[in-house]
Amino acid sequence: MMLAAPNTENLILLVFAVCGAIADSYYKARGGKRAPKWTALKLAAAFGLLLVVVGLRGASKDSIIYLTVTFSILGFAGYEAWRWYVRRKNPVPNWR
């Protein structure tokens, strides 16, 4: 069985998303606007449903694993990009 080569783009996205999550935690600690309660759950449910549909159509185990990792990283990076937009639109006074 051949393994796929590591995906460098996913690693770069993951690093930027983690940096965004750290900045978001500082923003929320200083009194910034919080995300709606069910946002992350809705995003995870949408990606989970997509994986179930792909799995039911007969995709291989390796492709399901690859898509799961890719969708997880893209979802996390997209969520943090949206939070970056919220932080820019609603700044906290005296936030440095």
- How far is it, in rounded angstroms, from Cα 83 to Cα 96? 17
Domain hosting residue 67, numbered range: 60-90
* Res 66: pLDDT: 83
Q: What is the pLDDT along the chain (96 residues), one digit of tens a residue?
A: 556 666 788 889 999 999 999 999 999 888 888 888 888 788 888 888 888 887 778 878 888 888 888 888 888 898 899 999 988 998 887 755
Q: Does the global pTM surpass 0.95? A: no
* Res 18: pLDDT: 94
Please provide the distance, in angstroms rounded to a whole number, between the alpha carbons at the two ends of the chain: 51
* Res 2: pLDDT: 58
Question: Does 82 map to a domain?
Answer: yes
Counted domains in the chain:
1
Question: Does 51 map to a domain?
Answer: no
3-state secondary structure of 13: helix
